[in-house]
Structure formats: C-alpha cells, structure tokens
C-alpha cells in the first residue's frame, strides 16, 4: 500500500484492491441512480449500480449507457437474490389471494389518513413481484452484458458466482456475518464487502466495527480483499476501516445527498434533518429487516394494532402502489428511503465530486492527526509503525 501523505497530489491509500480493479481511490459507491454511479467512477472511485429495482428488459440498455458514460473506467452492477421467493412470477390474482384482508384495509386507511392521491406513474414495485423467475431474468441480462464486476447481496447463489467468473467477471459478495463470509469464499467470491448493522438497506445484526476485523481474519488466508460498509460517510472512518485491515470502504447513504441523485425535496429535507438515531430497522419496507429513515410509514407499521408486515415479496406487492403515490406526490410525513446511521453526515446537497473530495481531505486530515499523535508518543509516523507491525492489507 502506498504510504499516504498530506500532499494533495499524492496517490493516498492506493490499496491492492485499487490496483486489482484499476481505480484511483479505495472508495466504493452503491446507488440505484446511474448519474451517481457515473460521477463516482469519474471521481476515481468504484461505482456500483443496483439493478434490483430494474426491469430485466431494460438492464442491457442501462448497462450500455453506463459503459458509454464512464468510458474505460471499471464499474459494477449489484443484484439482490434472496432465498425463499416464489419460483415463477405470480399473477396479480395469485398475489391478491395471498394478502390478508386485514392488511389491505390497513393500507387503505393509511391512504385515507394521509390523503394520498393515486399514483399516475408505474414504478418497479407496481409492475413487478420478486420471484426466482425475475431474478433469473435479471441475472441473464447482467451476465450477458459487458459489466466487469457483479456484486451479489441478500442471498448468495454459488451458481451465479461460478457463471460470472466463467464469463470473466470479477465477483463481489456483500455479507453481514462470518458464516456468510465463509460461504461466499467457498463459492469463489473475489472480493467481500463486510456490511455491518449500521448500514442503510437490508442489514444484519453485527455492528461494522465488530464485523470488519472478523471478516478480514476469515478472508486473510485466501487473499480475498475485504471492503468495509455500514455507517461510513467520512474519510476518518475510511481510514479506520483500512486500519482494521479492510482495503477500502463501500458507501450508500451518502449519495442520497448527491445532486446527481435528484432526491425529491421532501425526502432530502428529511434525510438532512435526520441523525443516526432517526433510522430504524423495519420489515415494513420489503418484508425483510431493512434500515430506513424513520417516517410516518415506519411508525404506522410499528404502532399497536398494526398488522405484522408480510414476508417478501408480498409486502411490496401490497404497498407498491401506495409507495409509488407517496413518492410521486411527495407526501411529506410518509416519504422515506433506506438510509444508514451514516445519515448523520448528510447535511445538504453536494455533487458526487465534492463528496469524494471531502472524503479524501478527511483521510489526509485523519492521517496527519495520527502522524502527530505517533510523533508525540515517540513512535515515529504511523507509516513507520506500519512497516514494523502486521499489515493485513499487504501481508496477504
Ligand atoms: C437507498 C439504499 C438502497 C440500497 N439498496 C441496496 C441494494 O439494492 N442492494 C445492495 O446490495 N445494497 C443496497 N443498499 C446497501 C448499500 O449497498 C450499502 O451496503 C450501505 O448503504 C452501506 O451503509 P451506509 O448506508 O451507511 O453507507 C442500499 C442502501 C441504500 C442507502
């Protein structure tokens, strides 16, 4: 690893995974918005486009738009492949038959209570129900594309990893427990993202600071690099992740405040006002535990007398039209999005380039702070301390 310096032009923290992927900074950014992914790649990071909410038929066109926009830069695509979904996409009638009357009444009451006008536009959740068949179609679209890296989250089908590798793609798995890390390594994942409890989106129960070093230790014998995720939105936290043996950080929530994300005003205001304590884990979003910014939506589903959210994919089948309407009409109390404890650092709208610059400045500041402390205690610079100590990033 290149020793970082306070010099703004220095190639700070060019970890081995930067070398492996051909990126400038060890900053990975997940987003469902193509413009954000493109801007992350242009800023020298690694942009990953989430296609879990995309029509399989549109995926090839979206990926080729990405390729054109980023030129030669590498980028990735993220698939969600949860177990336990219906094998084939159910018809509207079949879905309807699976949704209890009590749940339908509850959702209609919410619509009336908050005076939500009907949705006039289709969204993924008004048009699709998650199923094995849908995932297979998404997988085929991604495998047949020119995307260089495939990330798999919420579920790990080893056959998808094997096929992606056979197609010459780098594979990356998001994991939240040591057990899942071992399974991902056994399946042949090339990179692990250790995503802790603090993260926005579907999340496990182990905090990032406890999870990352355990996964680094598990991955060390294989030489598979580990990236830290969950609650990270500052350069000092990226440094901390590297200090724990990770080779970079994977950020999601921070990009919701990016100009390129085109976040609706009511949602942006809510995210800016939120602190870490204003995120909650709820099943009311997708049916699986998911960290979101608190809103009347999460509160209503947690209130006494509310029905328990339905399992995936039926929760979204039940709520998809109302959620689309809430978003379309910016219904303030109800708007929400997946968001991590890192939301505390979302203080206003900035461009992706400004966010990346700030992260790099904070990494330099953090390094200068540590160097100052090391000099005061007579231990030399952290770089000197590194060369005599164990460095999991380079010893592998
Ligand atoms: C709005 C949003 C949507 C997300 N959707 C997905 C997804 O579809 N697939 C996935 O692998 N991770 C998803 N995540 C999780 C991110 O990949 C990442 O692990 C997480 O955001 C990191 O924690 P942070 O939110 O504190 O930065 C999502 C996160 C957010 C904030």
- pLDDT digit string, tens, across residues 41-68: 999 999 999 999 899 999 999 999 999 9
Closest residue (by CA) to atom 16 of ligand 1?
252
Our answer on whether the CB atom of 197 is closer than 6 Å to any ligand 1 atom is no
Q: Which residues contact 298 (CB under 8 A, 6 or more apart)?
A: 280, 282, 284, 292, 336
DSSP 306-332: PPPPPPTTHHHHHHHHHHHHHHHTT-T
State which ligand 1 atom lies nearest to the alpha carbon of 337: 1
Structural domains of the chain in order of their starting residue, each with its CATH number: 15-89+128-261+349-371 (3.20.20.70), 92-126+264-346 (no CATH)
State which ligand 1 atom lies nearest to the alpha carbon of 195: 19
Closest residue (by CA) to atom 21 of ligand 1?
252
Pocket-testing residue among 33, 76, 81, 201, ligand 1, by greatest number of atoms within 8 A of Cβ:
201
Our answer on whether the CB atom of 321 is closer than 6 Å to any ligand 1 atom is no
DSSP state of 258: B
Task: Give this prediction's pTM.
Answer: 0.93
Q: Which of 355, 350, 324, 348 is nearest to 269 (CA)?
A: 348
Alpha-carbon distance of 373 to 100, in angstroms, equals 61
Q: Which residues of 98-117 are buried (b: 16+ CB within 10 A; e: fewer)?
A: eeeeebeebbeebbeebebe
Our answer on whether the CB atom of 77 is closer than 6 Å to any ligand 1 atom is no
Closest residue (by CA) to atom 14 of ligand 1?
201
Our answer on whether the CB atom of 232 is closer than 6 Å to any ligand 1 atom is yes
pLDDT for residue 131 is more than 90? no
- pLDDT digit string, tens, across residues 206-242: 999 999 999 999 999 999 999 999 999 999 999 999 9
- pLDDT digit string, tens, across residues 262-307: 999 999 999 999 999 999 999 999 999 999 999 999 999 999 999 9
- In the block, which residue shows the tokens 């007579």? 378
């Amino acid at each position: 690893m290149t020793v970082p310096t306070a010099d703004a032009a220095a190639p700070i923290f060019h970890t081995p995974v930067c070398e492996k992927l051909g990126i400038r900074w060890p900053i990975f950014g997940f987003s469902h918005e193509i413009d954000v992914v493109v801007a992350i790649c242009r800023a020298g990071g690694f942009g990953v486009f989430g296609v879990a909410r995309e029509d399989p038929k549109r995926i090839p066109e979206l990926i080729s738009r990405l390729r054109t926009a980023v030129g030669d830069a590498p980028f990735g695509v993220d698939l969600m492949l949860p177990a336990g979904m219906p094998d084939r996409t159910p018809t509207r009638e079949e879905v309807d038959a699976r949704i209890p009357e009590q749940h339908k009444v509850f959702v209609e009451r919410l619509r009336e209570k908050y005076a939500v006008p009907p949705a006039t536009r289709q969204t993924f959740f008004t048009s699709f129900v998650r199923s094995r068949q849908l995932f297979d179609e998404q997988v085929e679209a991604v495998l047949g594309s020119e995307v260089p890296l495939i990330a798999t989250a919420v579920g790990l089908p080893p056959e998808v990893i094997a096929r992606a590798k056979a197609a010459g793609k780098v594979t990356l798995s998001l994991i939240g427990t040591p057990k899942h890390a071992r399974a991902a390594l056994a399946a042949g994942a090339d990179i692990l993202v250790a995503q802790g409890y603090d993260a926005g989106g579907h999340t496990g129960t182990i905090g990032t600071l406890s999870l990352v070093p355990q996964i680094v230790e598990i991955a060390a014998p294989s030489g598979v690099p580990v990236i830290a995720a969950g609650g990270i939105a500052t350069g000092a936290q990226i440094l901390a992740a590297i200090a724990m043996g990770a080779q970079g950080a994977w950020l999601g929530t921070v990009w919701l405040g990016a100009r390129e994300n085109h976040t609706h005003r009511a949602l942006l205001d809510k995210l800016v006002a939120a602190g870490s304590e204003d995120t909650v884990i709820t099943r009311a979003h997708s049916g699986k535990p998911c960290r979101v910014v608190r809103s009347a939506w999460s509160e209503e589903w947690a209130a006494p007398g509310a029905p328990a959210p339905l399992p995936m994919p039926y929760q979204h089948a039940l709520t998809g039209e109302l959620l689309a309407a809430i978003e379309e009409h910016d219904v303030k109390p109800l708007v929400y999005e997946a968001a991590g404890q890192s939301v505390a650092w979302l203080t206003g709208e900035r461009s992706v380039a400004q966010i990346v610059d700030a992260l790099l400045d904070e990494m330099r500041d953090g390094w200068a702070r540590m160097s100052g402390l090391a000099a005061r205690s007579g231990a030399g610079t952290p770089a000197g301390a590194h060369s005599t100590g164990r460095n999991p990033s380079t010893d592998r």
